[in-house]
Amino acid sequence: MNRSPLYLRPGKKIKGSELFRNCWCTNYDACLDKAAREDLFLDCTVCLYRDDIVEAFAIIVDKTR
């Protein structure tokens, strides 16, 4: 299982607005730090931690009903 985001090299074909960043992820700061140090774009689209955070958030929302 791949539990890490994609790190993409900046280029003409990649637009920052097309990337997904999951700021609610517990690993977000570490991943963003790595991307910044290596001058890469961070994309959380395929990271499996994304699903964990979305599910936890859904449980919190469900409890408020």
Q: What is the pLDDT of residue 34?
A: 93
CB 42 within 8 Å of CB 35? yes
pTM, full prediction? 0.64
pLDDT in tens, 18-57: 788 888 888 889 999 999 999 998 888 888 776 666 555 5
Tell me the HSE value of 23 on the side-chain side, using a 13 A CA sphere. 0
Is the predicted pLDDT of residue 61 greater than 80, yes or no?
A: no
Average pLDDT over residues 1-28: 76
